[in-house]
Every structure is written in C-alpha cells, then in structure tokens.
Amino acid sequence: MAKRHPYHAGNYTPIHTTLKPRPCPSEGAIPEEFLGGHTANTSFVHHDGRVLATNETGPPMRVILPSLKTVGWFTGSRAEGEPTDEKPHPYFGGPGVEGFFKEMTTAHPHVDPQTQEMFLFHATFLAPFVTYSTAKSSFNQTLCLNQPVPGFQGGRIMHDFGVSRKHTVMIDLPVSLDPFNLCRNRPVVEYNWRGQTRFGVFPRYEPEKVEWYTTAPCMIMHTVNTWDEETFNGTRVHLLLCRMNSAAPLYHMGGLEAPNITIPESPECRLYYYQFPPNKENPKQISHQWALSAIPFEFPHVPQRLQMAPTRFVYGNSMRTGDFAEACISNFKVECLVKIDVAALLARGLADPPSQVDGCVDKRSVAEVLTSDDPNDPIKVFTLPDRWYAQECSFVARKDGQSEDDGWLVTYVYDESQLDENGVAPEDSQSELWIIDALEMKEVVARVLLPQRVPYGMHGNWFPEEQVLGQREVERFRK
C-alpha cells in the first residue's frame, strides 16, 4: 500500500466539458458544433497511457490524474489535446450528423490485461444500430473501428457487454431506442416485457460471424467477467453478469420518466452465470443460465489484471434490505460489500444444475449469510455500521500476495448522521476512504478522512502508481 497513490476515481465528481474543442486533424469532416458539450461521468478506464472518462452520450473523454483536468475527446486512435502529427487518424463514427450519432460509445469499454487492446461498441437508433471497435495499444497495433454487428433489428439501449480472450458477447435487451416515437406519442425508450433478451457471441475480431442465443426478457446493466474454455468441439464461452427481473432502475438511472411498467412482486438483481456451447456443437442454445447467489448483487468488480480469465473471486455491492431492481434508485444505499467464491458456486451448480433461467445455487439471504461461521463459506459479507454507506469497491493486491484474494478493498463511505434535519449534507461534512482486508472481509485496516463529502456515485476505479506516472504527454487542456 505504501507505494500506491490513493487515487480512487469514479463519477463521484462528475466532469462537465462545455467548451468547443479544436478538432483533431482526422475529425475535420465532423461539424464542430457536434463536438462541444459532454458530460463524461459514468466510469473511468485506463488504456495505453490514457485515463478515459465515459458516458453513452459520446466517445470517451481523456482526463489527467491526479488533477482530473480535461484533455479532450478520444477518437479511437488518439485524443484531442495530445501532440499532433501530419497524418490523418481513424476515428469513431464518421462524417456529418450521422457520424456524430454513431460515435456514441459504451460507458464500459473492456481492456485486455495481456494485449492492452481496448474493445468498445457504439449503439444508436440509426442502422446498422450497433458497431464495434478495437483500439490499439503500444503492445498491439490492431486497430479496427466502426465494424457493423449484424442481427440488431432497431435502436437499442445497451450499457455493457462481455469480452474474453477470444470472443465478444453483445447483449440485445428488449429495450428499444427510437426518437421518432415522439411523433407517435410513444416513449423514446420502451421496455418490451413480451420480448426477449439475446446474446450475440462472435470471435473477438470478427463481428460478422455473430451467433445469436435467446432467453427470457430481463435487464442487464453490468457484466462481471467473460472467459473461454477449450474443448474438442471448439471454444466454450462463460459469462458472469448482474441480471435484473425489473426494468424500473433503467429509467431512474437515465433520468427518464418511467412509463406504466410492470414491477415484479419480488424484484431481484443477482449474480448470474451463462454458458454458450462450443462453435461446433449443436443445438445452438444457451447451455446453462442460472443465478449463483440469491443476495442482491450489483456494481461488480474483478481486478483488472485477472479479467478475461476464470478468476476465483468477484466483489460487489449489496444491501441488507431492499434490492437494486426496485423502482426508485434514489433509495439505493450500499450497506454491504460482498466477496463471492465463483469457483466454488460454479462447481456446485455444474454438478447439480439448477433450473434454467430462474434457478439459483445458493438461496440464502444476506441475513442468513451473516449468521454463518464457516471459514470456507463461498459468500463473505462486510457490513457497514448503521447509517454508514459505501460505494463501488476496487481490489488492490498485496505485493507478493499469497493468494488471489490477498489484498484490500477500497471504497468511499459516508456517515449520514452528518445530515441535517432536512436530510441535506452540510457543506462541512466529510467522507472517508476505507481500506478493508479482502481475505476475511471483516477488518477495516485504515480509514482516510477526506477534506469534503464525496457524493454517492455509480462506478469507481483504482489507479496504481505506474499508471499515474506513465500517462501520455498532453499538449493542451480544455479550459
């Protein structure tokens, strides 16, 4: 810990960029008026010497650590504000207004920890509706932007996807996006409870070879991890994600007016497992799809160095009462951090598979897990004191650690006893950074008092010293 800087960043302090940039040479065909305001406040990712803030309303925005000063748009091959050269550079989207809409990029790019390539998708309401990009790195010069992904029938709301070492998994939810619905007196964003959820699996660099798998309608905001398994019939693909049986949080997270949607009697957001068959195996249907645990589970975390491989542990947020799939996201309070032994629960599930779609391996509630004194329990829960609430956690490995989980979880926490009688945080209230032992999930080993309150946010990330010190050169910042 002593050799790492405590830069734990997320959308806790949103970055607002409202000035028009000087277009990059490759962007000369894009009208400057469409390159202006942008709020990149959903997540942060590190790629090839850049720290990128993300939001679905445009391409990633490069910022600098630790100041969080705005550098400029990341176009797919370089960022505005970086030293220029004379040659043209490929970029997301394309020329004109249509290209502007097609450069809108997922808030959750995936970076291969081995090759350092970054994978992204761009979803809009214009055909072909979803395109796919691979951004190169200093270690791998693969660059392929704006590849169409066949099979989408219209505009879709998509937030995340899965990427393994060899495959990519697109998630086609029954959530349509069509601004022209305004002319029909219908919502721009619609969830179809009678529709279906589809997974499109294709080789990492060949979206034209996508194969589609259908299942019951659901909401998926975040994937957890994706990995491959070689068999004599080809490659089997495994996917972990957070599955909701309610679409209500979609509208609240997007600040949208919720239509008359059906709220399940028991809203659920669980850690789910999906298995897709090898490419030479028939029939082409999902081999397994069931929950690993019944506890509420969202804002998942797998250490970046372990992603795209079959890791043993995943971490995430939970709560003792309520669920992430309930109607009002403003009531979400993260009371617990959770560590799940995926390997143990997968072994149990594959040995005796639960029923497809609605089955579950470990059916205990958070309260029941907390009563366990089994040192080998596959689910461990760290609970905060009453009126203390956390945010998304990040795992920091111990130097020369002896196991995959030998390290710490870091998260921002806030004591709501500081709120005034109206439930408002005073200007002098303060948050803390907690460092929690990840082995046993019981002890807070350090508390760092921050100079101000950190508002509740969505995502967080931990940037080690080498990434902070190794950022690419910047020629100018946005003012």
- CA dist 457 and 412 (Å) reads 10
Looking at residue 177, its pLDDT comes to 84
**Tell me, what's the pLDDT at 248?**
73
> Is 8 annotated for ligand binding?
no
Its sign, for the CA torsion 440, 444, 448, 450, is positive
Helices in 247-315 by DSSP H: which ranges?
248-253
Model pTM? 0.88
The answer to whether position 417 is within a domain reads yes
How high is the pLDDT of residue 98?
85
- At residue 181 the predicted structure's pLDDT band, cuts being 50, 70 and 90, is confident
Tokens of 76: 């797919």
3-state DSSP assignment of residue 139: coil
| Residue 446, in any domain of the structure | yes
Mean pLDDT across the chain: 87
- 114 has a pLDDT exceeding 60: yes
Is residue 335 a part of any domain in this protein? no
439 Cβ contact partners less than 8 Å away, ≥ 6 residues apart: 403, 405, 406
Cα–Cα distance for residue pair 316/298, rounded to 1 Å? 6
Question: For the residues 448-462, what does the mean pLDDT come to?
Answer: 90
Instruction: Count Cβ atoms below 10 Å from residue 42 Cβ, excluding itself.
Output: 21
pLDDT at 64 over 70: yes
Query: Torsions phi, psi of 43, nearest 5?
Result: -155, 170
Residue range 308-335: average pLDDT?
85
In a domain, 456, yes or no: yes
In a domain, 397, yes or no: yes
Under 8 Å between Cβ of 84 and 25: yes
Tell me: is residue 222 an annotated ligand-binding position: yes
- Pair of tokens at residue 225: 């991890």
The reply, when asked if residue 122 is annotated as ligand binding, is: no
Structure tokens at 334: 């993260």
In a domain, 131, yes or no: no
209 within some domain: no
User: What is the spatial distance between Cα 168 and Cα 170, in angstroms, rounded to a whole number?
Assistant: 7
Distance CA 221, CA 360 (A): 20
pLDDT at position 327 is: 59
What ranges make up the beta strands (E) of 98-218?
110-111, 118-123, 130-135, 144-148, 162-163, 167-172, 175-177, 189-191, 197-203, 211-215
Confidence label for 244 from pLDDT (cuts 50, 70 and 90): very high
What token pair was written down for 201?
């699996």
Does the structure show a pLDDT above 60 at 182?
Answer: yes
Handedness of CA 73, 155, 274, 217 (dihedral sign): positive
Of the ranges 204-218, 312-326, 355-369, which one carries the lowest mean pLDDT score?
A: 312-326
Residue 136's pLDDT is what?
A: 87
Q: What does the pLDDT read at residue 15?
A: 27
Is 459 among the annotated ligand-binding positions?
yes
Whether residue 100 lies inside any domain: the answer is no
Domain with 409, as residue range(s), is 388-464
Highest mean pLDDT: which range of 241-255, 421-435, 451-465: 421-435
- pLDDT at residue 262, as a whole number: 61
| Domains in the chain, number | 1
- DSSP, collapsed to helix, strand or coil, labels residue 216 as coil
